[in-house]
Every structure is written in structure tokens, then in C-alpha cells.
Amino acid sequence: MRKLLSVSCILLAVSLTISGCSSRRSASNDPFAGTGSPYYKGKGPVPMGGGHYQLGDPYQVAGRWFTPKEQPNYDKTGPASWYGEAFNRRMTSNGEWFDMSRLTAAHPTLPLPCYAKVTNLSNGAAVIVRINDRGPFVGTRVIDLSKQSASALGYQRKGTTTVRVQYIGPAPLNDNGSHLVAMNRELENGTPLRQMIAAANNDRSDNIQVAEAEPVQQGIYDEEPAQQENYDAEPDQVVEQSVPSAVNYFVQAGVFADPDNAERLRLEFVNIGPVQVAELMGNDGPVYRMRVGPFDNLDDAQIALNQVHGYGLPDAHLLESHIQQASLQ
């Protein structure tokens, strides 16, 4: 019997490293060592969703047996590790693609894909993650989080931490990222765990709305849409998905008062697309507005928006900028 045990369990984690992923695996005791996990060879971000629901039969790794099963009351405390670069863009246990910049996780026995609330007991930080992989298989570790999930919980540099994992329910197969964003919004709103999925279903809009942005001018780091007096307000005009061809799209990531935070995010977002930061004057001094783009089609812009949402910025949204005809000649 051949099972694809994932990105998260192809190699066993037997060593801890503070500077990187704390769940690095050694192939010495892994019965699937050498087979590898398929690598996404396409260009751009890996697709979201696209896998299948999976529970699976009991399986053995390094002499230990794991029995996947429905666990509606799962609530467990224990060590958490994280995994990142070594497994980025590889296939997970249920056939999705692992992206270390998204809020995902691996668990040995919970159904895939599902949602769980993970709380870092050392600092109280909490996040909703999409579990779509198997692992970890080291000691008493209860969950293996993506690099971004570990960062959201504040233990990426530490390597491991003690967490509480609470099962919420099944996750939709083909979420484009908006449902997970809605789940974390419900977390912020204090919605009870058993009501989160239904609330997120109502919260998420399947209609893409794009606000109109202003023409492009020079910013402090790169080309930047011209400054608005009210930089954080939603533009009045909202257009339908069928838009003129001579447009650019931007992801309005947010406005930040701390220049160090703005610079940190700018460096993170360069893998998504061109990053533009404008220094604006707020009520209490300078603030920094960040946008990703331009993108010349709505599909690419939506993919970028989903990635920005994955960094824990649920208020990020799309802007549309009409290109003046003279610039096309």
C-alpha cells in the first residue's frame, strides 16, 4: 500500500534548530524516505485548495501507530513545531500544495482539511489554521504549523512553543483564501468555535469588488498611486468584474505607523509582486501606506490579495487604477 504522507511526514523530524524550521526531518527511519512528495512546477503562487477530504487508515511512522479519526471534541495542549522552506510548494497529504506563507498546519490524526484554533500559551496569541497535512511525528508534539502560522503566534524564531489545539470543523475544499480570512475575522469578533464556520459562510462574499484607485505617481520606494487626503477610506466607486482593458490592479495591504513594520512587510511582499510604499502625514505624524502591484489582470490581483490576507491582514482589498490613454500609445 502506497500512501502519500506529505510534505510534513516524508522525512522524520529528529533535530531541533532555533534558526529555522523546528521540524526538520531525517530520512533514516521514514518508510517513505526517498520517494519524495510532488513539487509544484507552475509559475507564481501555488493554487489554494484543490485537494480532497481524507481521514485514512491507521499508519505507522518510526515504530509509532497513528489512527486518523473524527474527533469533534478534540482539545489538546502540547508542544508545537513548524516547517517551511524545505517543504514549500510540495504536495500535502490530502493533495493540496503547501505554501509556507499561508495559515496552514499538519496534524497526525484529525480529518483533512479541517479548521483548528491554535493558541500560543506563552503569549496568548491565537489563530485559525487550515490543517491539510500529516505530522509531526516527534515526541509529544501535537501540531506542526506553517512558517506563517508560527510567525502569527510569535514563536517562529524560537522554533517550538506550547500550544492549545481546538478542533472547529471541516474546511471547504476549494477555498481561495477568503473563507480562512473570514474564520480569523470571526476569531477576532469572539464568535464561539461551534458557530465560526456558519458565521464565516455568511461573512464571506463570493463577489469580487474592486475599488477605484487614483493614477500612478512616484512613491518613496517604488511607483506609488498618488496620495489621497483620506488615505485609509474606501473609495466611493465600486465597479463590477467586467472592467475596461486599460486598467491596473493593486492590493491595498494597509497603513502602518511603524516604519520598521512597513519595511518588514515590504520585504515579505516582494515575492508576491512589486511593492509600493508611500509616506503620508497622519494625525500623529508620518504613516506608511503599502500596496502590492500593479497587476494587469484581475485573476493575478486576486491571487496576490489572498496571499496578503495570509499574512494576517484581513482588511486588505483590491484597488483599480485606470491607465490614461496617452500612456498606452
* Biggest distance spanned by C-alpha atoms of the chain: 69
Residue 322 pLDDT level (bands cut at 50, 70, 90) = low
**Does position 145 have pLDDT exceeding 70, yes or no?**
yes
Q: What residues does 183 pair with on adjacent strands?
A: none
Q: Which residue has the higher pLDDT, 203 or 320?
A: 320
What is the rounded end-to-end Cα distance, in angstroms, of the chain?
Answer: 61
Residue burial 110-119, b: 16+ Cβ < 10 Å; e: rest = bbbbbbbbbb
**Does position 317 have pLDDT exceeding 60, yes or no?**
yes
Q: What is the pTM of this model?
A: 0.58
Least Cα distance to 117 among 172, 155, 80, 157 occurs for 80
Coil vs helix vs strand at 301: helix
DSSP readout, 104-141? EEE-SSS-BSEEEEEEETTT--EEEEEEEE----STT-
Residue 302 pLDDT level (bands cut at 50, 70, 90) = confident
Least Cα distance to 99 among 313, 290, 292, 272 occurs for 272
> If you average pLDDT over each of 124-133, 171-180, 229-238, 274-283, which comes out highest?
124-133
The pLDDT value recorded for residue 222 is 36
The pLDDT value recorded for residue 203 is 72
Q: Which residue has the higher pLDDT, 68 or 31?
A: 68
The pLDDT value recorded for residue 181 is 92
**Does position 192 have pLDDT exceeding 70, yes or no?**
yes
**Does position 34 have pLDDT exceeding 70, yes or no?**
no
**Does position 136 have pLDDT exceeding 90, yes or no?**
yes
**Does position 262 have pLDDT exceeding 70, yes or no?**
yes
**Does position 141 have pLDDT exceeding 70, yes or no?**
yes
Residue 35, classified by CB atoms within 10 Å of its CB into exposed (0-12), middle (13-18) or buried (19+), is exposed
**Structural domains in the chain plus CATH codes:** 12-202 (2.40.40.10), 210-328 (3.30.70.1070)
The pLDDT value recorded for residue 153 is 95
Residue 11 pLDDT level (bands cut at 50, 70, 90) = very low
Q: Residue 26 corresponds to which cell in the numbers above?
A: 531525517
Mean pLDDT score, 307-329: 68
Element spanning 320, H or E: strand 317-322
